[in-house]
A and B are shown apart, each in its own frame.
Chain A
């Protein structure tokens, strides 16, 4: 049955905007929007008026100007003649470094503490309770300052490591803990390091295949293959074999040292004694560079290192006179050897694919190796331990949210406690743990701006500190800084949300 009613009269009265529920919500939204825009425009015009009253302009040109200050921890090339933009980038990378390191350590600490706090062992459970309550209830800035003060005041100065001093390096003279930071061995890459990398990638593929295979066998037959040992073996054995083979062959090859301003066949010691200053051209982080420096140090010579990017550049630099000593592979053709350069009687090893350079005591400080500055360590530890305490509570809550019956059922099936935790409890607990974990990661990242308290050069200290101070661009600097933290936080939370959607309950 069809009935046609008359179309409603298209009479729209303004009062409908208020009294008709179809239009009312729209009206309110439009009014709210206009009010918001008015508020915004008032703020913007106020800003413009005040800026012009101060005689300041609004532009980001300062980012291209010369920065003029030095930064101690740089993950990319930077010196005082670089631009403010570059300085900001160095700071951004430092912030990201501390965020990544901090989130990783906080997760490990938090998960461990959370699980252990549920332990049946009275001492362990209470120790963890003390840790969680202690760190969670004291401001993170205090922890940062405390750890920094401990690192600075309670550790020896580099000069105490000299002969007659009362400090010594640990782990076979490879690690030095000083009040300027912890110096650890740094890797140097030599011939064949690419081969090692390829072997590693192949091993990873093999591990993936092995795990799939083991899984399939278990599904099909119920037989459990040793996944852990297999993985370990697949990772270590091929790498070790490749490393030893390469070290034994190409690693033993020696190559000459070329110098300018000496007679052919002079020894390194005689050359060093005759020269005013030694400038060595070397590619950073290469074993060539490492072995050349070791040879020089063995003779007790002081030297400067001129960083170059390739052997060709080293030759060019030597011809320009920027350095007077360099080492080239024995296969180098005589024609390309820098003009005026002669080979010494001493030679150096070509070097293994990977060698580790231990820090050694230089003039004022340790040289070589990798310096983990106290500011980095203090910030890293404090942020991780502080955030870890919160994560521990999230983990504990997540585990407690899984019904006890699940554990009992698993035990009744004869599943070992460790597997019960891994296969039954944690997968269910993760659904509860992940969402609050996102906030903790965000907190840690934003708290890293406390770096200024210990002089860690993060983006707040470079762009938001020195750059603003030198250029007087407070508004622009703060806007950029806010934008950076906003974008970083959004990226972190969207990545974690992706992970969350993978572990959350799959509804069919």
Chain B
């Protein structure tokens, strides 16, 4: 027993070495770099391009935060995490921020001691199957073999869905999206299930996307968003309001093209002036320069631009805005007032 306590203690000492110190902001500034946890590779959401530069919808959140805090969107150290390693990485202080299509749930927010900064994509879990199987509904999947990323909420939803519908299935656990894709394409599983956005992103990378169909059932609510450690509220505020700044910028028509011009002198809309720091002292209230939001928006554009550039309808992933349209357009994306 003595031995195991020793090993346990060693583990935790390692785990908790940098954990939960209150001043993440100071650490990031001192380091001059933001450690951002991202997905190991999911087209459109977070993947390195041909030159090894990370880009994607979730990656843009990292860049916006780095720009707001450090003034430099490239000052990010991307840490690829799997479904299983992401929470340990964040809790241990290895990363300052996790922007990796992670579902906001009660237990993650409370029991796992994280704080979600908001929702940057409203998603739901779906299934993809080869068209030639002739399956038109997830309820036809009785006896099917289903590939599933372990350590995710989708794993639990899947179990609940098949249990509720009293049909059987065989789960094939895989670690990463790439592995799941390989198993699915080899036919080792009949269906692959993950967030519908992830399915669309994965399908876009297939040789023949038309041979695969995403089933109509969405079996869960998956609000995805960036999260930080519980307990450092100042840092949590910075991430939350950076995300809100991107969303508000789209609402008020501030884009990466006109943000410098609008930030040069106070304009007619006081909300835009406060957002861009030409009026008021919002930046100082969260311990940043007054041009923090300007930098964040200049990094990759506003929420709408980020969406269109990475996963929008003109990209291979081709996701419609749907629930993720601005509230003014009937969606759920909504930023509290900058006041």
Contact = CB atoms under 8 A, between A and B. Distances in A.
Contacts of A374: 188
A59 to B, nearest CB: 12
Interface stretch (B172-180, B192-200, B291-299): B172-180
A123 interface: no
A364 B163 contact: no
B136 to A, nearest CB: 14
Contacts of A482: 4, 7-8
B270 interface: no
B8 A47 contact: yes
A55 B115 CA distance: 13
Given A43-B9, A50-B19, A465-B150, A363 B143 contact: yes
Interface stretch (B72-80, B81-89, B220-228, B256-264): B81-89
A446 interface: no
Nearest to B15: A474
B230 interface: yes
B155 A69 contact: yes
Contacts of B214: none
Interface of B: 2-13, 15-16, 19-20, 83-84, 87-88, 91, 107, 111-113, 133, 141-145, 150-151, 155-156, 158-160, 162-163, 169-175, 182-183, 186-190, 230-231
Interface in A30-77: 40, 43-44, 46-47, 50-51, 53-56, 68-72
Interface string A340-367: 0000000000000000000000111101
A152 interface: yes
Given A53-B20, A69-B159, 8 more contacts: A53-B19, A55-B231, A72-B170, A79-B163, A152-B182, A455-B175, A470-B156, A475-B8
Given A47-B13, A466-B155, A472-B87, A365 B6 contact: no
Contacts of A152: 182-183, 186, 188
A478 B150 contact: no
B144 A81 contact: no
Contact of A40 (B6, B83, B189): B6
Interface residues of A, number: 49
A479 B162 CA distance: 33
A483 interface: yes
A44 B5 contact: yes
21 contacts: A43-B6, A43-B13, A44-B5, A50-B12, A53-B20, A56-B113, A69-B156, A70-B155, A80-B160, A152-B188, A153-B186, A363-B144, A364-B133, A364-B141, A364-B142, A365-B145, A453-B175, A474-B12, A474-B15, A479-B8, A486-B4
Nearest to B114: A472
Given A364-B144, A465-B84, A179 B159 contact: no
Contacts of A453: 175
A68 B189 CA distance: 21
B143 A469 contact: no
A159 interface: yes
A206 to B, nearest CB: 44
A337 B30 CA distance: 80
Nearest to B157: A68
A211 interface: no
B318 to A, nearest CB: 28
B181 to A, nearest CB: 12
Nearest to A457: B173
A157 interface: yes
Residue among A374, A472, A475 having the largest count of chain B Cβ atoms under 10 Å: A472
Nearest to A374: B188
Interface in A434-471: 452-453, 455, 457, 461, 465-466, 469-471
Nearest to A79: B163
Contact of A179 (B13, B84, B186, B230): B186
Contact of B159 (A68, A364, A486): A68
Contacts of A153: 186
A82 to B, nearest CB: 11
Nearest to A80: B159
Given A43-B6, A80-B160, A54 B151 contact: no
Contacts of B8: 47, 475, 478-479, 482
B9 A469 contact: no
A488 to B, nearest CB: 14
Nearest to A367: B143
B234 to A, nearest CB: 17
A461 B87 CA distance: 16
Residue among A68, A452, A470, A483 having the largest count of chain B Cβ atoms under 10 Å: A470
Interface in A81-110: 81
Nearest 3 interchain pairs by C-beta: A50-B16, A43-B9, A157-B187
Contacts of A55: 20, 113, 230-231
